[in-house]
Structure 1
Amino acid sequence: MLMVGLISLLLLRVCGCRVADAPDDVTAEFSVRLYHQLQMVGGEEDNIIFSPLSVAVALGMVELGARGSSLEQIRQAVGYSHFREDEEFSALRNLTQALAADEAQYVVRLANSLFLQTGVSFSPDFLRLMKHYFHAEAETVDFSEAAAAAEHINTWVQNHTESKIHDLVSPDDFSSMTRITLVNAVYFRGSWKNQFRPENTRTFSFSKDDGSEVQTLMMYQQGDFYYGEFSDGTTEAGGVYQVLEMPYEGEDLSMTIVLPRQEVPLATLEPIIKAQLLEDWANNVKKQKVEVYLPRFKVEQRIDLRDNLQQLGIKNIFTKDADLSAMMGKELFIGKAVQKAYLEVTEEGAEGAAGSGMIALTRTLVLYPQVMADHPFFFVIRNRKTGSILFMGRVMNPEVVEPFDHDFDSV
Structure 2
Amino acid sequence: MRNTVLFAFIGLGIGVVTGCFFINDTTSEFSVRLYHRLQAAGDQDNIIFSPLSVAVALGMVELGARGASLEEIRQAVGFSHLLPGVEFSLLQNLTAALSDDDTHYIIRFANSLFLQEGVTFNPEFLHLMRKYFRADVETVDFSESAAVAEQINSWVENHTESKIRELLSAEDFSSVTRLTLVNAVYFRGSWKNQFRPENTRTFSFSRDDGSEVQTLMMYQQGDFYYGEFSDGSQEAGGVYQVLEMPYEGEDMSMLIVLPRQEVPLASLEPIIKAPLLEEWANNVKRQKVEVYLPRFKVEQKIDLRSTLQELGIKNIFTNDADLSAMTDGKDLYIGKAVQKAYLEVTEEGAEGAVGSGMIALTRTLVLYPQVMADHPFFFVIRNRRTGSILFMGRVMTPEVIEPNDHDFDSM
Q: Normalising by structure 1, report the TM-score.
A: 0.92
Q: Displacement of 1:185 after TM fit?
A: 0.4
Q: Partner amino acid for 1:213? A: E
Q: Displacement of 1:363 after TM fit?
A: 2.5
Output the CA distance in 2 between the equivalents of 1:400 and 1:180.
40
Once the two structures are superposed, what CA deviation does each residue of 1:260-298 show, in whole Å capped at 9, x if it has no partner? 000000000000000000000000000000000000011
Alignment correspondent of 1:330: 330
Q: Partner amino acid for 1:320? A: N
Q: Secondary structure at the match of 1:62?
A: helix
Alignment correspondent of 1:9: 7
Output the CA distance in 2 between the equivalents of 1:140 and 1:356.
55
Alignment correspondent of 1:207: 206
Q: Displacement of 1:312 after TM fit?
A: 0.2
Output the CA distance in 2 between the equivalents of 1:85 and 1:171.
37
Once the two structures are superposed, what CA deviation does each residue of 1:164-216 show, in whole Å capped at 9, x if it has no partner? 00001100001100000000001100000000000000000000000100000
Alignment correspondent of 1:347: 347
Asked if 1:45 corresponds to 2:68, the answer is no
Moved more, 353-362 or 133-142: 353-362
Output the CA distance in 2 between the equivalents of 1:172 and 1:364.
57
Q: Secondary structure at the match of 1:367?
A: coil
Moved more, 315-324 or 392-401: 392-401
Alignment correspondent of 1:259: 258
Output the CA distance in 2 between the equivalents of 1:357 and 1:143.
57
Output the CA distance in 1 between the equivalents of 2:40 and 2:26.
23
Unmatched tracts of structure 1, length 5 or more: 1-7, 11-17, 402-411
Asked if 1:79 corresponds to 2:78, the answer is yes
Output the CA distance in 2 between the equivalents of 1:254 and 1:220.
18
Output the CA distance in 2 between the equivalents of 1:287 and 1:139.
48
Output the CA distance in 1 between the equivalents of 2:326 and 2:69.
13
Q: How many residues are paired up?
A: 385
Alignment correspondent of 1:188: 187
Alignment correspondent of 2:15: none
Within 5 Å, give how 1:338-377 maps onto structure 2: 338-348=338-348, 351=351, 353-377=353-377
Within 5 Å, give how 1:1-400 maps onto structure 2: 9=7, 19-20=20-21, 22-42=22-42, 44-102=43-101, 104-328=103-327, 329-348=329-348, 351=351, 353-399=353-399
Q: Is the 8 A contact 2:191 2:246 kept in 1?
A: yes
Rate the CA distance shift 1:36–1:364 in 2: closer, same or farther, 3 A: same
Q: Partner amino acid for 2:126? A: L
Q: Secondary structure at the match of 1:390?
A: strand
Q: Displacement of 1:104 after TM fit?
A: 4.7
Output the CA distance in 1 between the equivalents of 2:77 and 2:350.
34
Unmatched tracts of structure 2, length 5 or more: 1-5, 9-18, 402-411
Q: Is the 8 A contact 2:308 2:314 kept in 1?
A: yes
Once the two structures are superposed, what CA deviation does each residue of 1:29-53 show, in whole Å capped at 9, x if it has no partner? 00000000001112x1100000000
Q: Is the 8 A contact 2:215 2:400 kept in 1?
A: no
Q: Is the 8 A contact 2:112 2:135 kept in 1?
A: yes
Output the CA distance in 1 between the equivalents of 2:369 and 2:81.
42
Q: Partner amino acid for 1:88? A: E
Q: Secondary structure at the match of 2:125?
A: helix
Q: Partner amino acid for 1:80? A: F
Q: Displacement of 1:350 after TM fit?
A: 6.7
Output the CA distance in 2 between the equivalents of 1:103 and 1:168.
31
Output the CA distance in 2 between the equivalents of 1:41 and 1:319.
23
Q: Is the 8 A contact 1:206 1:214 kept in 2?
A: yes
Q: Partner amino acid for 2:189? A: G
Once the two structures are superposed, what CA deviation does each residue of 1:215-244 show, in whole Å capped at 9, x if it has no partner? 000000000000000000000000000000
RMSD of aligned Cα (Å): 1.3
Q: Is the 8 A contact 2:214 2:400 kept in 1?
A: no
Q: Is the 8 A contact 1:191 1:349 kept in 2?
A: no
- The percentage of counterpart residues that share the same residue type is 80
Q: Displacement of 1:358 after TM fit?
A: 3.5
Alignment correspondent of 1:14: none
